[in-house]
Amino acid sequence: MKLAGIILAGGRTRSMGELTKQRADAALPIGACYRAIDFSLTNMVSSGIENVAVIAQSASGSLNDHLSQAQWWGFGRKRGGLHVINPTITQEHQEWYRGTADSIWQNLRVLEKWSEPYVVVASGDGVYKLDFDKVLRQHEKTGADVTVVCVKQYPGAILSRYGLIDVDGDGRVLRLKEKSESETEGLISCGIYLLRRDALMKLVTDSVEQGKYNFVKDILVPMAESKKVYAYVHDGYWKNVAYKDNFYEANMDLLKPEIRRQILETEPLILTKPGDLPPAHYGEKAVVKNCLVGNGTLIEGEATNSVLFDNVHVGEGSKITDSVILPDVHVGRNCVLTNCIINSRKEIPDGTVMSDYGRD
């Protein structure tokens, strides 16, 4: 195989509030039974990538637990490996990762052991499906130094959150604008990059030696002006979930038949670590319409157009609409929850009425 993979899973967006207080963005629950990182991992495995390093940092306990059994993603003793890496304080390195480039540089020993000539570097907080082999074929055809995966602007996208990319008629990147408040034109960068392994090692080493630690701002932005950087335009669904509204929308999007079929119901199926729970149970008075429901969940009330994760209890007389209920939540009797995100392990008292994201 020509490709190895690096998943940058160390981020934790403070604007997410309680949702990322004890979990990294890459560990956010998606679609009733998945974590955000499952999508990048599945994309790599289904593309034939046998060596993947997950670089974690902030609030990584939940992520480490989720990835503790690599066989769920098809990694075994004879088939490459899944390497979950947390910061290590040594005499040489006295700091946590100072940025994305630094996180790769501090783990060069992993890249040095690999034999694959190319590496995909991807964030762990995107919901999408992508065949990286297709990206590699374009990369080789164009002779690119770096290929950046992008999507076209979509309705409702807040462009200041993303890198925007200008390209010429052949797809060559003319300019990469990183999270600018004033820019409104360009393709949206998905935070996924493909380049040669030896080039990546040199780039991050040179950057860190110059006191520059951000892979996009300090390496890719200057490269777009002097090297052959090309865009690969992904024509399927993609959403970054590192913002509360994006997280909510991504879960709601999976209730739409066309997106659910594309992401969850067609091959390759998204791989995850399953919980040891019985199937969901529905009481005699339960009414459930257009919902994704996790295992171990008991619904005695009503749920409409909502995502309910594992081990949720909805009491009699309660009505949940357009909401995302994370694992281990107990909703009491006669509650009304509309447009809510309820974080894990919450107790919602009888008679509670909430709307507009509720408790986070």
Q: What is the pLDDT of residues 150-176, one digit of tens each?
A: 999 998 999 999 999 999 999 999 999
Residue 143 in 3-state DSSP? Answer: coil
pLDDT at 192 over 70: yes
Q: Kindly report the CATH class assigned to 281-357.
A: mainly beta
Cα pseudo-dihedral 112, 114, 118, 124, rounded to 10: -90
Residue 109 one-letter amino acid? R
Closest to 305 measured CA to CA, from 280, 342, 279, 340:
340
Which DSSP string corresponds to 23-83? S-GGG-EETTTEETHHHHHHHHHHTT--EEEEEE-TT-HHHHHHTS-GGGGT-BTTB-EEE
Domain ranges of the chain: 3-265, 281-357
In the structure, what pLDDT confidence band is assigned to residue 359 with cuts at 50, 70 and 90?
A: very low
Q: How high is the pLDDT of residue 277?
A: 94
pLDDT at 91 over 60: no
pLDDT at 69 over 90: no
CA distance 35 to 274: 11
Sign of CA dihedral 96, 65, 269, 126: negative
pLDDT at 77 over 80: no
In the structure, what pLDDT confidence band is assigned to residue 356 with cuts at 50, 70 and 90?
A: confident
Q: What mean pLDDT is predicted for residues 280-294? A: 97
pLDDT at 140 over 50: yes
Q: What mean pLDDT is predicted for residues 73-86? A: 78
Architecture of domain 3-265: Alpha-Beta Complex (3.90)
* pTM score: 0.94
The rounded mean pLDDT for the chain is: 92
Q: What mean pLDDT is predicted for residues 253-259? A: 98
CA distance 157 to 358: 23
Determine the Cα angle at 250 with ends 185 and 329, to 5°: 150
Residue 322 contacts residue 45 (beta carbons within 8 Å):
no
Residue 236 contacts residue 35 (beta carbons within 8 Å):
no
Q: What mean pLDDT is predicted for residues 22-43? A: 95
Residue 3 contacts residue 48 (beta carbons within 8 Å):
yes
pLDDT at 79 over 70: no
- Report residue 51 as tokens: 């060596």
Over residues 317-330, the pLDDT tens digits come to 999 999 999 999 99
Residue 185 in 3-state DSSP? Answer: coil
pLDDT at 182 over 90: no
Percent of the chain at pLDDT > 90 equals 80
**56: which strand partners?**
9
Neighbours of 14 (CB within 10 A): 8
pLDDT at 333 over 70: yes
Q: Which residue has the higher pLDDT, 262 or 13?
A: 262
Over residues 118-135, the pLDDT tens digits come to 999 999 999 999 999 999
Sign of CA dihedral 317, 291, 65, 241: negative
**126: which strand partners?**
240
Q: How high is the pLDDT of residue 305?
A: 98
Residue 125 contacts residue 160 (beta carbons within 8 Å):
no
Closest to 113 measured CA to CA, from 25, 4, 249, 224:
4
In the structure, what pLDDT confidence band is assigned to residue 92 with cuts at 50, 70 and 90?
A: low
Closest to 295 measured CA to CA, from 267, 273, 315:
273
The number of residues making up the chain comes to: 360
Residue 160: DSSP 8-state: G
Which DSSP string corresponds to 212-272? ---IIIIIIHHHHHHS-EEEEE--S-EEE-SSHHHHHHHHHHTTSHHHHIIIIISSSPPP-
User: Worst-scoring range by mean pLDDT, 3-12, 126-135, 196-205, 215-224?
Assistant: 3-12
Q: How high is the pLDDT of residue 94?
A: 57
